[in-house]
A and B are shown apart, each in its own frame.
Chain A
Amino acid sequence: MPLINFAAREINYKIVYYGCGLCGKTTNIQYIHRTINPEARGKLVSIATEEERTLYFDFLPLTLGTVKGMQTRFHLYTVPGQSYYNASRKLVLQGVDGVIFVADSQITRLDENVESYLNLWDNLLAQGDDLAKLGFVIQMNKRDLTDVFSVEDLNELLNHTNSPVVEASAITGKGVFDTLKSVCKQVISKTG
C-alpha cells in the first residue's frame, strides 16, 4: 500500500527484508548504503543490540528520482530475525509493498529458514494483505560458502509462490542489487 502524495508529487514504497537470524538482512542493506550513489540514499538508521543484532529494524531510504513528475522513493527496512521478536516483525511489516525473503543457504540453517518463511506468511495473512499485490523475491544468500543446499532444493522448500529467485553473497555484494531491482520493479508493477 504505497503512500501517494499527488499534491506534493511524491510516491513512497515500503520494502522489507525478512528472514531468520544472521541470514544477512542487515548485511544487504549495509552493502547498499556503502555502494550506491550517496545522492540517491538517505541516512541508515539501525536499532540494534550492543552485539549489533537487529533489535527492531534497520531503515534506509532510497530515492529513484522524478518519474513522470513524481518523486519516487523506496524505503528499505529489515526485521529482527530471531524467533522471539515476532511482535516487532509484525510492526515492521505494516504497510509493506514488497518483501525480500533472505534465505541462509547453509544446510545447518534449514529449520530456521523454514520457520521464518512460515512466520512471514502467517504475519502477512494476519494483517490482511492482498498477497497478489505484494512484490516478492527470494534471495538465496551465502552462496560463497561450501556446505550449502542446492538452489533447486531451496527453491522446492521455500518457494511455493514460484517467485523470482536471486543467488547472492551479501557480504561481497553479489546479487544484492539484482534482488533489490527485482522487488522494486515488482512493487511498481503490482501496486499500479
Chain B
Amino acid sequence: MARRKGLVINDRQLDRCDDLLRKLKEVSGSSFLALISASGQPITTASDEYHPETLSLASLAASSFAATRQLAKILDENEFTLLFHEGKALNLHVSQVTDQVLLIVTFGRQTQVGKVRLYTQRAMEVLRQVFEGPDDEEGPAMDSGFEADAGLAIDDLFKDL
C-alpha cells in the first residue's frame, strides 16, 4: 500500500522526541509536556504526576494557536510563534516546532517563565531537525488488511445504534 500523505511518525522520531521531552522537563522544571499536531492530535507526552486530559488539551491548544496565528495576520505581524497563558498555580506555554507540530509545556510556581522559555527554545531547534530531517521522508506503510478490518470495527462500533 502506498504511503499516506500527512504527518507520519516513525520509531526513531518518537524515541528522539521522548528523550528530548524528558530532558526538557527535567532542566526546565515543567510539569507536563506534549507534542501535538497542528490539527490538534497528540503525538507524545512527558509527565510524572500531572496528567491532563490529553485529547481535549491537544484539540484546544492547536485551535488556540491557529487562532493566534490568524490574529497576527490581521495585525500585519508576520507571525506569533508563541501562546502563553498565566494562571494562579499553572502556566501554559505553546510554541510552534514546525508547520505541522506544536509543543505544549505546562509549569507551576516551582520554576520561572524565563527558564522554561530558554530551554524550550533550545529544545525546539533539535525537535525541528527530528521532524524536518530525512526521517520525515520515510515511514512504514500501513498493513494491507487495515481498511477491511477497520470497516468491520466501524460496523461493530455502530451496531444497534
Contacts and interface: CB of A to CB of B under 8 A. Distances in A.
Contacts of B38: 94-95
A94 to B, nearest CB: 5
Nearest to B74: A87
Interface residues of B, number: 45
Interface stretch (B10-18, B87-95, B105-113, B121-129): B10-18
A67 B144 CA distance: 11
Contacts of B55: 42-43, 61, 75
A95 B65 CA distance: 14
B85 interface: no
| Residue among A2, A5, A185 with the highest chain B CB neighbour number at 10 A | A5
Contacts, number: 146
B66 to A, nearest CB: 4
Given A5-B9, A6-B8, A64-B157, 19 more contacts: A1-B7, A3-B7, A3-B9, A5-B8, A5-B43, A7-B9, A12-B37, A12-B41, A14-B41, A36-B157, A65-B157, A68-B150, A73-B41, A91-B70, A94-B39, A133-B5, A184-B154, A188-B150, A191-B4
A148 interface: no
Contact of A91 (B14, B63, B146, B158): B63
A82 interface: no
A134 B40 CA distance: 18
Interface in A31-63: 35-37, 40, 42-43, 45, 56-57, 59, 61-62
A87 B147 contact: no
B6 A65 contact: no
A57 B149 contact: no
B154 A5 contact: no
A159 B93 CA distance: 43
22 contacts: A3-B6, A3-B39, A4-B4, A4-B8, A4-B9, A7-B11, A7-B12, A14-B40, A36-B158, A43-B55, A56-B67, A59-B40, A59-B60, A64-B157, A72-B153, A75-B40, A94-B66, A95-B37, A95-B38, A95-B40, A173-B161, A181-B158
